[in-house]
Amino acid sequence: MSTLVDDHEGVTYERGQANARSRTNTTADSVKTCTLACADLWSIEQVAAIEAQSENNELLPQAIRRAKRTAGGYAALFLSDEGTDKAGRFYWPGLAAFAAKQVVEGIEYANENIDFWSLNFRSKAAFARAAAANTFYYLLKGNFWVFIEVVPWMTYYKRHGRESFDCCVDQRDVATYNPEVKRQMHALPWAPGKNVSLERSLQSRVAPIVGPYRIHDHAGALAEVDNCRATAPLKAGFAQMKRAENIDDPLDDARLKALYRSAESFLNHEQRLRLQRLVYDHPEFRSAISTNDFFRRWAPASLGARTPELIFNSEATLTDDIIRNELEPARLKPEDVSESMSLDDGSLYNEDERMAYVARILDRYHRLMTKKTDYMLDQLRAIARWQHA
């Protein structure tokens, strides 16, 4: 086994695991049978997800690179079935690629906003600096942990097949992982609680993170994702995926409806049962969102408030060149590839209000995937290149 170390966030863990032992011998083509339990298979898929966030046996210390790899990983998973009769079955990861790409932009913007407020309004805008730092912290956390939790479900299904998945879906639990992999999981950033090194880094720039924005985050991401156990919406998503797989015609209405419903179920798992606890239930993050909403309503745009928006393009914003070279040839307008959440729509941290926004995003995604397939596949191929960021 090789050791995987991230000194930046205090992470040390082992890569891989030993499942059986065998001695060399003189018998040609001899084979050692190795029986793997569900916990072993889940451990293998979990290590693969961690490796996707790693390089040269180290967890990537650059948080932005990790965030980009989540978007690229989702896109690559969707595209992995291209050219087969299963193309498009990983419908939620395709949508997640666009969403994660937009989160990367939000992370980068929050990072820049910390410096903007620090340099321009040092004494009078401590709350704005703290809100930006808080946003940066929680966007990174949610982006990383949704990937770590969700991707193994998908890769297990893809690599080991339906029957094995159905047998083992209720057996996934970090507590039953291979001991070394279990230790890896508990050592990941945010797993046991607050990401102290990240908080210290932000404190050095914000000095200090004040009042309602002070980061608490004590529960730990592993507890917040329920040790990666299965949920009813997750299993419903795979049931719909199986229905889609059983229909040969890729344009059959029943197949398209099943893909839509699978993504809808996975979104309920991701948003209501994972991100709500990882991110949105934290009072300090709610304060940061409220601060952004206050500035959206009352302050000039130059002060940095952002409207929640998802753009179905490989870029986070639509430039004139993108409109001319990508949208217009596909007979699309900017309003055809974007969905936003106005102040009248409510607040992101309110679960039901956010889910209404997410439903509109899914509707637009489905419309584009069924009507403008070539355009969407081109965008996903571009995002997929981020898997090696």
Judged by average pLDDT, the poorest of 90-104, 138-152, 301-315 is 301-315
* Alpha carbons 341 and 343: distance in angstroms, whole number: 7
Any idea which residue has 């965008």 for tokens? 379
Instruction: Give the ranges where 248-322 is alpha helix by DSSP (H).
Output: 253-267, 283-298, 320-322
| 354 membership: H or E segment, kind and range | helix 351-371
pLDDT surpassing 50 at residue 65: yes
* 110, burial (CB in 10 Å: exposed 0-12, middle 13-18, buried 19+): buried
The dihedral sign for the CA sequence 380, 384, 385, 389: positive
- 51-63 pLDDT, tens digit each: 999 998 889 999 8
Please report the pLDDT score of residue 123 as a whole number. 46
* 61, burial (CB in 10 Å: exposed 0-12, middle 13-18, buried 19+): middle
* 142, burial (CB in 10 Å: exposed 0-12, middle 13-18, buried 19+): buried
Q: What CA–CA distances, in Å, run from 17 to 40, 49, 62?
A: 9, 15, 26
Q: Are 153 and 48 in contact (CB under 8 A)?
A: no
- 109-149 pLDDT, tens digit each: 888 877 665 555 554 456 677 888 899 999 999 999 999 99
Please report the pLDDT score of residue 118 as a whole number. 55
Nearest Cα to Cα of residue 255 among 89, 82, 83, 369: 89
Long-range contacts of 313-317 (CB under 8 A, 24+ apart): 313/337, 313/379, 314/101, 314/379, 314/380, 314/382, 314/383, 316/101, 316/102, 316/104, 316/105, 317/105
- 287-309 pLDDT, tens digit each: 999 988 988 888 756 556 789 99
Helix count and strand count (H, E) for the chain:
13, 6
Write the CB contacts of 50 (distance below 8 Å, at least 6 apart in sequence).
Answer: 4, 13, 59, 148, 184, 188
The dihedrals phi and psi of 215, each to the nearest 5 degrees, come to -80, 125
Q: Are 264 and 362 in contact (CB under 8 A)?
A: yes
* Alpha carbons 50 and 55: distance in angstroms, whole number: 10
Q: Are 47 and 359 in contact (CB under 8 A)?
A: no
Strand partners, 311: 338
* Residue 311: band (very low, low, confident or very high) from pLDDT cuts 50, 70, 90: very high
What percent of the chain is predicted at pLDDT more than 70?
A: 86
Please report the pLDDT score of residue 120 as a whole number. 54
Please report the pLDDT score of residue 1 as a whole number. 32
pLDDT surpassing 80 at residue 76: yes
Please report the pLDDT score of residue 304 as a whole number. 64
Q: Read off the pLDDT of each residue in 17-33 and give the average, rounded to a whole number.
A: 60
* Alpha carbons 106 and 306: distance in angstroms, whole number: 9
- 176-225 pLDDT, tens digit each: 999 999 999 999 999 999 999 999 988 888 766 667 778 999 999 999 99
pTM of the full predicted structure? 0.90
Please report the pLDDT score of residue 130 as a whole number. 80
Amino acid, res. 13: Y
